[in-house]
Structure formats: structure tokens, C-alpha cells
Amino acid sequence: MSEDPEIKVASYAKKKGQIVMRPHEYDGIQEYDQTLPNWWLFIFYGAILFFPLCWLAYYQFGMMRPDGERVAVQMAQIEKVKAKALDEMLAKLDDKVLINKWAKDDQTVANGRETFMANCTACHGQNLSARMDIGNGQSVPLPGLSLIDGQWKYGSHPMDIFKLINAGTPPDSAGNNGAKMEAWGLKMAPIKIVELVSFIIRQNPKDFPEAQN
């Protein structure tokens, strides 16, 4: 093997810190023969290392998520807890329990009255008649249905009333002259709706005589 004088020169020059060119040249284009500076290599290998670390942190450990994604995950958890609470309540609830247990409990009915006065009177009226007194013995109708007229558009069983308040006007219903009720279950815990139903039951002695005490 014959020795290439260029190579000897190149390694000598490199040791001396001088710039060395590769021996070839194409169309006047030449190439440096230098080791890359450490700062450059550091960034290069650092970038290679950076990728698996990020991949692990972001995809495997769920770190560094943007706020929107974190909120979505937490909302999904809240929805799960709410759905579970509703399932648990529905599992121990039926018409008889609502009438004989909940509606007979004065504290439950009082809680229901409080929730009703705070959330429902705008459309169903202070006295549940869906009318508002405007003085001089006159009254005007409100958007909701009367809850004391003995007519139950979506079913007269306590569970029907529970489900209607929880889920609002069914999607396939045209509502009351176009007015639909929202799903209160989105805002209220199941126990709140139990209290509301208990209150409504107690306001209807004719429909629910066994609930009065």
C-alpha cells in the first residue's frame, strides 16, 4: 500500500489547527476536511437525545399537555363521576321510593322548595301555576307548564318527572309552543333533582295523596 502524502499533511495540519481541504474538486467546488466544532456536535447529539425524551414525556407519561387538552381530560373525568352518580341514584330510585321515602321527608321537600324558588320560578311561577301575578287580580302566562294542573305532559309517574327534569325536553318533542326546557341534570346533582321531584309531588295532593303527611 503506497502512502498518500496528502493524508500525512492533513493529519499534521489538523493537529496544528490549520484548515485542510479534501483532495477532490468538482466544478471548482471544494470540501473542508475538518472535525466539527464541539458546540455543533453538542447540539446535534442533544437534538437526537431530545426526541426520545420528549416522546416519552408527552406520549407515554402525558406531561407538557396544553391547557385545552388538560381541561378536556378533567372534564371527561367529571362527566364520568356525574354519570356514575346518576346511575347509582337511578339504581335505588323508583316511583314508590320517591313517593314514600323522599316526598314524605320534610327536609327533602324544603330543600326542593329552595332549589325550585332559585331556579324554576321564572318559567313555572312562584306557585307552580306557570302564571305570574301582575296585580289587580291579573296574571300573565310564563313559558313553562303548570305543575299543579293535574296534567303531566311527559308522564305522571314520579320517575317520569325525575327523568324529564334531569334530561329536559326530549329531542323529538316540539316543546310547549316551541319553548323547550333545558336538561337540569347537566347543572344539578341527582339528589337535587330528587328533592325537586319531592317538592313537586307534595304540591299535588290530588295526584299523590299517599305522599302527603
- Binding of residue 184 to ligand HEC (CB under 6 A): yes
- Binding of residue 176 to ligand HEC (CB under 6 A): yes
Q: Which of 101, 152, 157, 159 binds ligand HEC (CB under 6 A)?
A: 152
DSSP assignment of the chain: ----HHHHHHHHHHHTT---EEEEEETTEEEE--PPPHHHHHHHHHHHHHHHHHHIIIIIS--S--HHHHHHHHHHHHHHHHHHHHHHHHHT--HHIIIIIITT-HHHHHHHHHHHHHHTHHHH-TTSSSEEEEETTEEEE-SS--SSSS--TT-SSHHHHHHHHHH-S-TT---BTTB----GGGTS-HHHHHHHHHHHHHT-TTT-GGG--
- Binding of residue 109 to ligand HEC (CB under 6 A): no
Which 9-38 residues touch ligand HEC, going by CB under 6 A? Answer: none
> Smallest distance, Å, CB 165 to ligand HEC?
5
Q: Which of 21, 105, 143, 157 binds ligand HEC (CB under 6 A)?
A: 143
Our CB check for ligand HEC shows the closer of 49 and 186 to be 186
> Smallest distance, Å, CB 126 to ligand HEC?
13
User: Contact positions toward ligand HEC, by CB under 6 A?
Assistant: 116, 119-120, 122-124, 143-145, 147, 151-154, 161, 164-165, 169, 173, 175-176, 179-181, 184, 196
